Structure 1
Amino acid sequence: MKLVVRVKLLPTPLQTSALGATLHACNQAATWAAGVAFEENARRPLELRKHTYAEIRERWGLGAQAAQHAIKKTCDAYTTVKANLRNGRYGRPGAKRHARASGKPVVFRPQAAQPYDDRMLSWQHQARTVSIWTTAGRLKGVAFTGQAEQLAVLAGHRQGESDLVCQGGKWFLIATCEIAEAAPNSHPAGFLGVDLGIVNIAATSDGERHCGRRINRKREQDRKLRSKLQKKQTKSARRRAKKYAGKEARRNKDINHKISKRIVAEAERTGRGIALETLTGIRERARLRKPQRTTLHSWPFAQLGAFIAYKAKRAGVPVVYVDPAYTSQECSQCRHIERGNRPSQAVFSCRVCGFVEHADHNASHNIAHRGWYVWVCGAQSTALELTLIA
């Protein structure tokens, strides 16, 4: 499986200037190549190389490998635009967004990421430095740092290209690592059900709720500040809103990483699998009041599900997806389904057997039960297919 490791560079002022000039030159060259590709309708690397390679090297002083990567980056960008147009990401043909996307060449930001291969970049893991090509010559001894676990993964599993990127005045290298998957647990001792919600981001069938008042208060503050800045409609307000949106996204991502890590660790420790709701259409399925809709749309549930899936795959923990229909109205004891079983958001009280529990935990028990049923049915169908083949 592929993992992406991001390490922070610690360049000196002179090295920073060289890196900035290199990134600017590479993206200028890529933007010019994108214009040529649009005019000549040359969207493949070999075709575009014939029109642009020599001039890129002469005008911007890029090395052979850097020029090749600038051309390939341009072609990849057009491939992405074509796929987005085909999938309706820019609306229907004739729409303004569709016309803007298809009617002009691609433009790269001055600080957009630039790929580096092993000819342009070498790692010295013991010294924690890199040697990197720039338009001012080869920079040696550029220090980098990161978490010990990430650096160990980088040293042992890095493969392929690395991307140089500048974000907020800080320099990073983003490297791709190929890690062997753990042997999957083919005989789980049950399933840990995970219910995703609004008040509690995730609740497990073990009785643990991942959220809390502090996070919810912060989410409410983010929503109010976002609304306030949107109403001002000034240049400084838009700039501040953009900066704050990045900070909010990073905080949410960090919380999702922590939640997924704890869930996968608990499932691995107890020898169980993980049962998740099918996330497709979660926002369309929920019928909520207006304040709750804002809270629902402000959390990246798909990101949380993806984090759980890849961490579980790395740990060898099986993950199954179940139909979420009526999990919040079904009694986990007698299986009676009734809308009246939910007298309030947090309370579940069965009208048949009298079972009372926190609503999110009751739903997570139902998800765990359905997960085990899906797993057993899948194992039985696989055994039946093997019998028929034999």
Structure 2
Amino acid sequence: MPDAAQASVLERTLCTVNDAANWVSKVAFAHGVPREYELRKHTYAELKARGLGAQAAQHVIKKVRDSYTTLKANIRAGNLGKEGSKRRRKAESKAIMFRPDAAQPYDDRCLSWQYDQRTVSIWTVGGRVKNVPFVCSADALRMLQAYRKGECDLIERDGVFYLIATCEVPEAETYEPDSFIGVDLGIVNIATTSTGYLAAGRGLNRYRKRQLALRAKLQKKRTKSARRRLRARARREARHAANQNHIIAKTIVTEAERTGRGLSLEELKGIRNRVRLRKPQRVALHAWAFAQLADFIVYKAKRAGVPLVFVDPRYTSQTCAACGHVDKRNRVDQQLFICRGCGVVAHADRNASHNIATRGESVWNAGRESRAPATP
């Protein structure tokens, strides 16, 4: 929460370091993206001449080199298309550029925290700026004091400055579960557990459809202000979805911790490549963050010491949880499950969650150390 003078120098600092990063990126691209030590020989003196401190110059060079490492990894993974595709050629044909307000890393030499006063002292191009107040929740402050470690990133979003700090929180000791809660993930129902909890996706899907229509209107305008509104709306939509995923993940993990049970999740990696859907369904599938919800459940479970396993999701929606009969016709529609073997009628997602729970218990028992006494 800097005052007007502090905000001005922070803004100038971000513009200066990112302008310097753009210059370093052009040098790196011209020299075939050398290693960090070699890149430092080409650029360090000029960065110092531009008014950057020693640590800030090092961080700018490292930031540029890391960005090219990320680009190379994305190309190798196929995230930018196949070789020769338009998107991949565009990415490979020019130097990486940084926005004026892009994040700048700070280490403990450039940034110090005064937790009791809730202020920071930070390096800027105008010298060291002290007593810059910061605000956060009481829980976040306790976490900062106990677990902050490594670098922090300074960013600016819509005129507001943020410090993103990394905290390494130790994992709680995992307890021995009495049983497992199966979690079935979907689009109509975001998450359904074998204990009866159901997170309906109707509200979130309705919100996404409304945002999709608004994006289409703004994209047709093709103006600078429309692009600015699109960026702001995309960030707002991402925050809304992340908040929903946090609520769902916390509810599921809290229930498992309270009842002394473990969690069993579907292994959904590559689902977008495996599933073949019609165009309206593809929009819904690609718009929802499957991986984000699973990641939230995983890290919350680790912090709480809740045992967690991943299971093969194949045929969980076609298998009867009561008798084990597998038939594609068992899944009558999105909500209804009627077993062709024993005739049981159940909610389709809840039936799948029971199958996931059973598989989770099997996986846990198979991976557990034997408790049989040693042979004399």
TM-score range normalised by the length of the shorter chain: over 0.9
How far did residue 232 of structure 1 move?
4.8
Larger CA deviation: 120-129 vs 339-348? 339-348
Larger CA deviation: 13-22 vs 144-153? 144-153
- Residue 42 of structure 2 aligns with which residue? 51
How far did residue 173 of structure 1 move?
0.5
How far did residue 116 of structure 1 move?
0.7
- Residue 374 of structure 1 aligns with which residue? 363
Structure 2 SS opposite 1:222: helix
Tell whether 2:134 aligns with 1:147.
Answer: no
- Name which of 365, 370, 374 aligns with 1:383: 370
Which runs of 5 or more residues in structure 1 are unaligned?
A: 1-9
How far did residue 237 of structure 1 move?
3.7
CA contact (8 A) 1:260 1:304 kept: yes
Tell whether 2:181 aligns with 1:192.
Answer: yes
Task: String of CA shifts for 1:115-160, please: whole Å, max 9, x gaps.
Answer: 1111111101111111111111211111111222122111111111
Name the amino acid aligned to 1:251.
Answer: H
CA contact (8 A) 2:151 2:166 kept: yes
Alignment partners' CA distance in 2, 1:135 and 1:322:
52
Alignment partners' CA distance in 2, 1:84 and 1:212:
31
Structure 2 SS opposite 1:331: coil
How far did residue 240 of structure 1 move?
2.6
Distance 1:132 1:194, change over 3 A: same
Structure 2 SS opposite 1:269: helix
Name the amino acid aligned to 2:6.
Answer: Q
- Residue 4 of structure 1 aligns with which residue? none
Structure 2 SS opposite 1:180: coil
The percentage of aligned residue pairs carrying the same residue is: 57
Taking CA–CA contacts closer than 8 Å with sequence separation of 6 or more, which of the two structures ends up with the larger relative contact order? 1
Name the amino acid aligned to 2:185.
Answer: L
- Residue 2 of structure 2 aligns with which residue? 11
Tell whether 2:233 aligns with 1:244.
Answer: yes
Alignment partners' CA distance in 1, 2:80 and 2:208:
30
Distance 1:129 1:249, change over 3 A: same
Alignment partners' CA distance in 1, 2:6 and 2:268:
45
Residues 73-152 of structure 1: matches in 2 within 5 Å? 73-152=63-142
CA contact (8 A) 1:43 1:78 kept: no
Alignment partners' CA distance in 2, 1:361 and 1:230:
40
How far did residue 23 of structure 1 move?
0.6
- Name which of 310, 313, 317 aligns with 1:324: 313
How far did residue 275 of structure 1 move?
0.5
Larger CA deviation: 344-353 vs 169-178? 344-353
Task: String of CA shifts for 1:152-177, please: whole Å, max 9, x gaps.
Answer: 11111111111101112211001111
- The alignment of Structure 1 onto Structure 2 pairs a total of residues equal to 376
Task: String of CA shifts for 1:165-218, please: whole Å, max 9, x gaps.
Answer: 111221100111112111112x21111100011111001111111135433322
Alignment partners' CA distance in 1, 2:177 and 2:298:
16
- Name which of 168, 171, 178 aligns with 1:178: 168
Task: String of CA shifts for 1:257-288, please: whole Å, max 9, x gaps.
Answer: 11111111111111111101111232344454
Name the amino acid aligned to 2:166.
Answer: T
CA contact (8 A) 1:182 1:315 kept: yes
CA contact (8 A) 1:121 1:132 kept: yes
Tell whether 2:251 aligns with 1:265.
Answer: no
Alignment partners' CA distance in 2, 1:268 and 1:124:
35
- Name which of 301, 312, 317 aligns with 2:301: 312
Alignment partners' CA distance in 2, 1:291 and 1:94:
29
- Residue 341 of structure 2 aligns with which residue? 352
- Residue 21 of structure 2 aligns with which residue? 30
Name the amino acid aligned to 2:370.
Answer: A
Which runs of 5 or more residues in structure 2 are unaligned?
A: none
How far did residue 302 of structure 1 move?
0.7
Alignment partners' CA distance in 1, 2:150 and 2:97:
26
- Name which of 327, 335, 338 aligns with 1:338: 327
Distance 1:124 1:31, change over 3 A: same
Alignment partners' CA distance in 2, 1:325 and 1:163:
41
Name the amino acid aligned to 2:229.
Answer: R
Alignment TM-score, normalising by the size of structure 2:
0.93
Structure 2 SS opposite 1:329: coil
How far did residue 102 of structure 1 move?
2.6
Alignment partners' CA distance in 2, 1:260 and 1:46:
43
Distance 1:373 1:20, change over 3 A: same
Distance 1:216 1:84, change over 3 A: closer
Q: Report the RMSD for the aligned CA atoms in angstroms.
A: 2.3
Tell whether 2:274 aligns with 1:274.
Answer: no
How far did residue 353 of structure 1 move?
2.1
Name the amino acid aligned to 2:337.
Answer: F
Distance 1:231 1:337, change over 3 A: farther
Residues 204-219 of structure 1: matches in 2 within 5 Å? 204-211=193-200, 213-219=202-208
Larger CA deviation: 129-138 vs 87-96? 87-96
- Residue 354 of structure 2 aligns with which residue? 365
Distance 1:116 1:373, change over 3 A: same
